């Protein structure tokens, strides 16, 4: 047997099992929260209340836009107040800027990329919880 042959097989086997586990978790979480994130170009309302979704989508857009233009994402002169949002508390969606930028790239710079990113991040978060 070639040097490292057995170890390479075990490592590949573990990688395949890990990939299968991630895919299974993604499918299971999507099945469980489908009504929350599908369609990916919309925001789910809970009994007519968007919660903080509008604020989080705006934060995803603002942080990605600031990073792409070399500006500080924590300072702005823009004003936006999503209906029903509580601007007295900070959301931590700024940390998801790599995912937002990737979604922006994959969507062809679609104006809806922050909404796509928001829904994908909800799905991704539930997947990672599993």
- Tokens representing 80 are 């936006």
CA distance 99 to 118: 9
Closest CA to 119 of 46, 59, 33: 33
pTM over 0.85: no
Spans of the chain below 70 pLDDT:
1-11, 44-52, 80-91
pLDDT of residue 98: 94
Q: DSSP readout, 90-111?
A: ---GGGGHHHHHHHHHHTTS-T
pLDDT of residue 89: 60
């Amino acid at each position: 047997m070639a040097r490292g042959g057995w170890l390479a097989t075990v490592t590949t086997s573990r990688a395949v099992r890990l990939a299968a586990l991630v895919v299974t978790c993604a499918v299971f979480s999507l099945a469980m929260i489908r009504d929350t994130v599908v369609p990916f170009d919309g925001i789910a309302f809970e009994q007519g209340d968007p919660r903080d979704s509008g604020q989080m989508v705006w934060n995803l857009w603002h942080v990605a836009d600031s990073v792409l233009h070399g500006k500080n994402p924590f300072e702005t002169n823009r004003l936006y107040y999503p209906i029903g949002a509580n601007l007295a508390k900070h959301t931590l969606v700024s940390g998801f800027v790599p995912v937002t930028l990737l979604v922006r790239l994959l969507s062809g710079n679609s104006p809806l990329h922050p909404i796509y990113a928001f829904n994908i991040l909800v799905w991704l978060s539930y997947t990672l919880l599993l």
